């Protein structure tokens, strides 16, 4: 279905045309007409399906039609991380290029000037607020901010927000909103806690489900069964030649990310590391360089597993098996975007076989195992039944023998860099205000 068949206002269509958006994705085709009617909605869709545009376009369209004064906040969009909040803000900026609608991103970090900018924008009524829950709650508790004119409340990646412990903050925000509003909830998964939240804050919602929590079929998935010590040899084997496209290597450990980036730099690759030890300005520069082809290989923690939309990533490599199947989906979802094809490869050590088997069960299929190159030695047998779901070895006597630790005791701890965005959080981060008169970004929602 084409966007010009949906009854969107001309300024919105002009923005779409400038960004070369013509055909709606399935989630956009099913959700935009519903949202335009004013109904509450639950959208269950995997990453990379265009769900951001699925709610931005109809909300933008309705704001244009209502023609309310500009001094009121009309819509609030909640996002779990500052990275996703920035991504949504950029999308809104592009779609509203020909529309006099203002946006303000609210997230943790920054100095006193940034805090004052956020306070000023909230008190003077930016049309659309895109915020992480913790930061917005801090502002609401400290200042008199008028939310009585909010007509649209959107929760993006609601499952992630609840996993991060934002449930109480979300409910505090809901209590400050008018009862007469349109509420939209988007989530990659629909566990019981999301269903309960939906019953609490939505009114007779329409449900739209698109390919729930399954990888894009255009992603070719494969794995190497190996020992932990063989992983670096595989890296050298796989990246011994020049890259054909941009690639991301994911690891759950900051230390491994740093070590891998160092090794690949010595192999003369244009590589950068992305993890939560970087300041916000450094993160933004790395992602800009990656998007603009100054970097063709990114080594990262799960800090970039969600909300990063770069279309020409050809391969995702999981150096570690992620803990949850959903994290696996989001990692490999960085490739095969915008109707392209992609490759996802996972290194599976002996102690990770249980976790990897749980991913295969979740996907309801067996992932192809690539034979190890002969010069790396013999590969361990793939016997996931010998391991518990947590990845620990299960001996014949029924007890669990914990795996031996190698190196730093914190080496295998999960680190996503997406903790709660409280104002008093220790690390200093950079706030990027909305740009004026910029060229519309060419991203798919």
pLDDT digits (tens, 9 = 90+) for 377-390: 999 999 887 765 44
pLDDT above 50: residue 23: yes
Q: Does one domain contain both 158 and 228? A: no
pLDDT above 90: residue 398: no
Mean pLDDT for the stretch of residues 59-69: 84
Q: Does one domain contain both 138 and 261? A: no
pLDDT above 80: residue 31: yes
Mean pLDDT for the stretch of residues 206-219: 78
CB burial of residue 5 (10 Å; 0-12, 13-18, 19+): exposed
Q: What are the CA-CA distances from residue 423 to residues 99, 113, 119, 124 (Å)?
A: 32, 13, 12, 20
Reduced to 3 states, what is the DSSP secondary structure of residue 142? Answer: helix
Structure tokens at 405: 């630790």
Q: Which of 183, 210, 237 is the last residue of a domain?
A: 210
pLDDT above 80: residue 432: no
* Residue 157 belongs to some domain of the structure: yes
- Are the beta carbons of 51 and 444 closer than 8 angstroms? no
Q: Which of 210, 230, 264 is the last residue of a domain?
A: 210
pLDDT at 265: 92
pLDDT at 426: 37
CB burial of residue 152 (10 Å; 0-12, 13-18, 19+): buried
* Residue 152 belongs to some domain of the structure: yes
* Residue 296 belongs to some domain of the structure: yes
pLDDT above 60: residue 393: no
Reduced to 3 states, what is the DSSP secondary structure of residue 192? Answer: helix
* Residue 426 belongs to some domain of the structure: no
pLDDT at 173: 96
Domain count, the chain: 2
Q: Does one domain contain both 116 and 239? A: no
Q: Does one domain contain both 114 and 72? A: yes
pLDDT above 60: residue 200: yes
Domain with 243 in it: what CATH number? 3.40.50.300
pLDDT at 244: 80
Q: Does one domain contain both 115 and 203? A: yes
Q: Does one domain contain both 228 and 281? A: yes
C-alpha angle 273/79/119, rounded to 5°? 100
Residue 241 binned pLDDT confidence (cut-offs 50, 70, 90): confident
* CA dist., res. 69 & res. 149, Å (int): 10
pLDDT above 50: residue 104: yes
* CA dist., res. 100 & res. 218, Å (int): 38
* Residue 410 belongs to some domain of the structure: no
Q: Does one domain contain both 28 and 163? A: yes
Closest-CA residue to 119 (of 147, 104, 103, 139):
139
pLDDT at 362: 82
- Are the beta carbons of 212 and 46 closer than 8 angstroms? yes
Residue 159 binned pLDDT confidence (cut-offs 50, 70, 90): confident
Bridge pairing between strands 206-210 and 368-369: unpaired
pLDDT at 46: 65
Residue 211 binned pLDDT confidence (cut-offs 50, 70, 90): low
Q: Does one domain contain both 51 and 112? A: yes
pLDDT mean across residues, the chain: 82
> How many CB atoms are closer than 10 A to CB 280?
20
Q: Taken in order 110, 114, 115, 119, is the CA torsion positive or negative?
A: negative
* CA dist., res. 442 & res. 422, Å (int): 32
* Residue 228 belongs to some domain of the structure: yes
Mean pLDDT for the stretch of residues 365-376: 95
Structural domain range at position 139: 3-210
Q: Does one domain contain both 300 and 327? A: yes
Q: Does one domain contain both 74 and 154? A: yes
* Residue 434 belongs to some domain of the structure: no
* Residue 427 belongs to some domain of the structure: no
Q: Which of 210, 237, 266 is the last residue of a domain?
A: 210
Q: Does one domain contain both 199 and 229? A: no
Bridge pairing between strands 400-401 and 393-394: antiparallel
Q: Does one domain contain both 70 and 115? A: yes
* CA dist., res. 375 & res. 377, Å (int): 5
Mean pLDDT for the stretch of residues 384-403: 49
pLDDT at 439: 43
Closest-CA residue to 248 (of 227, 267, 275):
275
């Amino acid at each position: 279905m084409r966007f010009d068949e949906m009854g969107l206002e001309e300024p919105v269509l002009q923005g779409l045309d400038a960004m070369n958006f013509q055909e709606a994705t399935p989630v956009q085709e099913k959700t935009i007409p519903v949202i335009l009617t004013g109904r509450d909605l639950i959208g269950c869709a995997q990453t990379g399906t265009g769900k951001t545009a699925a709610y931005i376009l109809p909300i933008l369209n309705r704001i244009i039609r209502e023609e309310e004064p500009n001094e009121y906040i009309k819509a609030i969009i909640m996002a779990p991380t500052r990275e996703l909040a920035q991504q949504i803000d950029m999308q809104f900026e592009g779609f509203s290029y020909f529309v006099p609608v203002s946006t303000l991103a609210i997230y943790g970090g920054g100095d006193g000037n940034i805090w004052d900018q956020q306070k000023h924008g909230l008190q003077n009524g930016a049309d659309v607020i895109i915020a992480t829950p913790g930061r917005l709650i801090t502002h609401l508790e400290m200042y008199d901010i008028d939310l009585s004119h909010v007509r649209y409340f959107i929760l993006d990646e609601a499952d992630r927000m609840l996993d991060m412990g934002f449930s109480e903050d979300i409910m505090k925000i809901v209590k400050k909103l008018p009862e007469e509003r349109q509420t939209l909830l988007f989530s990659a998964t629909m566990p019981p806690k999301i269903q309960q939240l939906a019953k609490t804050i939505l009114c007779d919602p329409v449900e739209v489900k698109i390919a729930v929590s399954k990888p894009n079929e255009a992603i070719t998935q494969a794995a190497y069964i190996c020992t932990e010590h063989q992983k670096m040899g595989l890296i050298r084997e796989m990246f011994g030649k020049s890259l054909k496209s941009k690639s991301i290597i994911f690891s759950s450990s900051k230390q491994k990310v740093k070590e891998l980036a160092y090794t690949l730099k010595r192999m003369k690759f244009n590589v950068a590391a992305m993890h939560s030890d970087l300041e916000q300005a450094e993160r933004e520069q790395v992602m800009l360089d990656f998007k603009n082809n100054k970097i063709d290989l990114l080594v990262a923690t799960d800090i970039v597993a969600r909300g990063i939309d770069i279309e020409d990533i050809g391969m995702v490599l999981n150096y570690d098996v992620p803990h949850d199947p959903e994290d696996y989906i989001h990692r490999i979802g960085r490739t095969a975007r915008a109707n392209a094809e992609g490759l996802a490869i996972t290194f599976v050590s002996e102690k990770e076989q249980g976790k990897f088997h749980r991913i295969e069960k979740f996907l309801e299929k067996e992932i192809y195992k690539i034979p190890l190159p002969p010069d790396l030695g013999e590969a361990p047998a793939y016997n996931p039944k010998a391991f518990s779901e947590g990845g620990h070895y299960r001996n014949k006597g029924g007890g669990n023998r914990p795996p031996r630790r190698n190196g730093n005791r914190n080496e295998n701890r999960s680190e996503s860099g997406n903790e709660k965005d409280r104002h008093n959080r220790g690390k200093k981060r950079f706030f990027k205000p909305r740009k004026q008169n910029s060229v519309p970004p060419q991203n798919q929602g």
